[in-house]
Chain A
Amino acid sequence: MTARRFARKYLIGIIAILVSFVVFLLPFAFIVLQAAKDPREAGLMGFSFPTQWQFFQNLVDVLQTNDYQVVWAFINTVVITVFSVAIMVVLAAMVGYLLQRKKSRWNPVVNFFVLAALIVPPAVVPTIWVLQGVGLFKTIPGMVLIEATFGLAFAVLLFRAFVATIPRELDEAAIIDGAGSMRLFFQVILPLLRPVVVTVIVVQSVFVFNDFQGPLYFLPGSDTPTLQLGLYNFQSQSVSQFNLLFMYMLLITIPPLIMYIFFNRQIVAGMTSGAVKG
């Protein structure tokens, strides 16, 4: 019996680790190796070490391409991500809180729309028409509002599930102490929602940061690119510079990687509490 358990633990573990190397780590190793090669060698797409490491040179080159386009794209993407996620967190927390706390005739309506927003694919061209109508097409504020809107439903679900774990007695105590509804929410409830706020921030900012379809439709043209759009355009413009393409990929993988390293546990906890119970 012990021999069997030993075999299970170590043998299966070792096999799984080996498989994970091939399936999950080799593709990432490929990106890093390609990013360090010269253009000719990278073009061969072989899985080999570069004969001459020019990692730093490629990094400088990709940053300088098209008048520091990558840097601008990075700034745009960060601005869109930060603002849209901030809007999403505050508005979705308000909705989730109210849905959980107050039984009103609006609840079924709101629940229906949350579900609909999760399922229904956005109607893209009519959205462009609306954006043009309000003068926000091809602008960063327009993109911020769109990303915030598309992320609301999922954030509401996470918040609603979490508000249920905060005892109502806290609300009552705050009210007796004379807190108004604004103070109750922003100074008592919102700080208590912190774990799920972090989850929403991590999950949604990774999503907005990696979004390609949104900027493709709502930020066309090269004057306001985002990183994902920039990577896609880079690929079609410079066919012979695979080393720079992979360096670009490496660069845009780093922010989500950092997020993941810092918030690994948080992502797992939040995703499961929202996704399974909600």
Chain B
Amino acid sequence: MTTAVAPTGTVRGDKRAERSAKKRKGIRSPYPTWFYIPAAVLFLVFFAVPTFASFYFSLTRWTLFTTQFIGFDNFVQFFQDPALSQAFVNTFIYGFVTSAAKVVLGLALALLLTSPILGRGYLRAVVFFPVLVSTIGVGLTFKALLDPFHGPVNAVLGFLHLPQPGWYTDPNLALLTIAGVDIWKGVGIATLIFMAGIVAIPSEYFEAARVDGAHAWAVFRNITLPLVRPAMGTVIILSLIGGLRSFDLIWAMTNGGPGFSSDVIASVIYKEYQAGFFGLSTAGNVILFVVVTAVMWPVSWFLNRREAEL
């Protein structure tokens, strides 16, 4: 810090003069910059340092005590191993499926729960409650409910003479089943945000539309949908970040199986860590970092731009 004084000396000098002038008059800034410091220390030590260190460690064979520099071998291995590259694809599928479903279902539920229907308070409470419940608990409960042999869901399907799929034992279905449970658990938060967005729309717009004799669909398309866009941006961003990073539910339900069919990058990171491949695990982290940033940066840019236009 002190070494940087020389080139910016004049600017600093001006500020210092200004500050000492204020001091002479007895006015000191009531907002001391050191308020940033405690949070900054935590952030630097436990977040920034590990994040920057991960770029180096991802290029090494690492045992936590010794490192051996091996260049991009970890990344090459990641993308050549079919099990690992499947996780890469799965991460995108999982993130986009859960996010899209939360937007559509969340908006539909929010429309329902802001219209005058019977039992609205109860419905709002019950939709939001799963958000608060332990993900591991939800995962294990649905594992029992969807059990292919004894589970109640397949018992009902069998009773109705419908096919009884192996929800999380069928490799083609496992990832989507978990995504479905994720949507069940997380749709409450999307609904809540959409509800806030809809309630914030001035009621004059709806009244004007009613006077003009607009149908429900026209009102939705021309008033609700455009004006609820900021809320939609928030829902998309939150659910995408959560979906791309998701781990708990997948780990509780399938451990990434059967085979590697429901593995995502986050579960691969844990598996490689567990097996002692710390370098490879950290490379997974760097890939997840790149994936999340590469998706979120354009998405948030696009959403913010549209918002500004309105």
- Which residues 206-233 of A have a CB within 8 angstroms of B? 206, 209-210, 212-213, 216-217, 227-228, 231-232
Tell me the minimal C-beta distance from A114 to chain B in angstroms: 9
Interface of B is mostly: helix
| Other A-B pairs, 17, CB within 8 Å; known A113-B48, A256-B134 | A20-B122, A24-B127, A34-B144, A95-B35, A98-B33, A102-B29, A119-B292, A124-B285, A127-B50, A128-B64, A129-B57, A132-B64, A145-B42, A152-B39, A275-B193, A276-B196, A276-B234
Tell me the minimal C-beta distance from B227 to chain A in angstroms: 12
* A125 and B285 contact, Cβ closer than 8 Å, known pairs A212-B248, A252-B134: yes
Q: How many residues of B sit at the interface, in one of the four size bands?
A: 35 or more
B136 at the interface (CB under 8 A from A): yes
A252 to B247, CA, bound (A): 20
Contact of A120 among B127, B135, B144, B292 (CB under 8 A): B292
Contact of B53 among A126, A145, A242 (CB under 8 A): A126
A78 at the interface (CB under 8 A from B): no
20 contacts between A and B (CB under 8 A): A16-B112, A46-B152, A47-B155, A91-B38, A98-B31, A101-B31, A102-B33, A119-B241, A120-B293, A123-B50, A131-B46, A132-B64, A149-B47, A150-B47, A181-B30, A210-B134, A235-B140, A260-B132, A268-B128, A268-B192
Pair B141/A264 contact, Cβ less than 8 Å: no
A43 to B178, CA, bound (A): 22
A231 to B45, CA, bound (A): 30
- Which residues 113-135 of B have a CB within 8 angstroms of A? 115-120, 122-123, 125-130, 132-135
Interface 9-residue window, one of B79-87, B96-104, B265-273: B265-273
B229-246 vs A, CB cutoff 8 Å, 1 = contact: the mask equals 011001000100100010
Pair B151/A9 contact, Cβ less than 8 Å: no
Query: In this complex, what residue of B is CB-closest to A101?
Result: B31
Pair B64/A129 contact, Cβ less than 8 Å: yes
B10-33 vs A, CB cutoff 8 Å, 1 = contact: the mask equals 000000000000000000111111
A148 to B41, CA, bound (A): 12
A245 at the interface (CB under 8 A from B): yes
Tell me the minimal C-beta distance from A106 to chain B in angstroms: 7
Tell me the minimal C-beta distance from B301 to chain A in angstroms: 12
Pair B150/A125 contact, Cβ less than 8 Å: no
Pair B248/A181 contact, Cβ less than 8 Å: no
A235 to B145, CA, bound (A): 15
A259 to B123, CA, bound (A): 18
Residues of B within 8 A of A (CB): 28-33, 35-36, 38-39, 42-43, 45-51, 53-54, 57, 62, 64, 112, 115-120, 122-123, 125-130, 132-137, 140-142, 144-145, 147, 150-152, 155, 184, 189, 192-193, 195-197, 200, 230-231, 234, 238, 241, 245, 247-248, 251-252, 266, 269-270, 273, 278, 281-282, 285-286, 288-289, 292-293, 296
Interface of A is mostly: helix
Pair B123/A125 contact, Cβ less than 8 Å: no
Contact of A212 among B135, B234, B288 (CB under 8 A): B135
* A125 and B281 contact, Cβ closer than 8 Å, known pairs A13-B117, A275-B238: yes
By a CB distance below 8 angstroms, the chain A residues around B286 are: 123
A245 to B143, CA, bound (A): 12
Query: In this complex, what residue of A is CB-closest to B137?
Result: A249
Tell me the minimal C-beta distance from A248 to chain B in angstroms: 8
Tell me the minimal C-beta distance from A96 to chain B in angstroms: 10
Pair A245/B53 contact, Cβ less than 8 Å: no
A112-147 vs B, CB cutoff 8 Å, 1 = contact: the mask equals 010001111111111111111010000000000110
Residues of A within 8 A of B (CB): 8-10, 12-14, 16-17, 20, 23-25, 27, 30-31, 34, 44-47, 87, 91-92, 94-95, 97-98, 101-102, 104, 106, 110, 113, 117-132, 134, 145-146, 148-150, 152, 156, 171, 175, 179-181, 184-185, 206, 209-210, 212-213, 216-217, 227-228, 231-232, 235, 242, 245-246, 249, 252-253, 256-257, 259-260, 264, 267-268, 271-272, 275-276
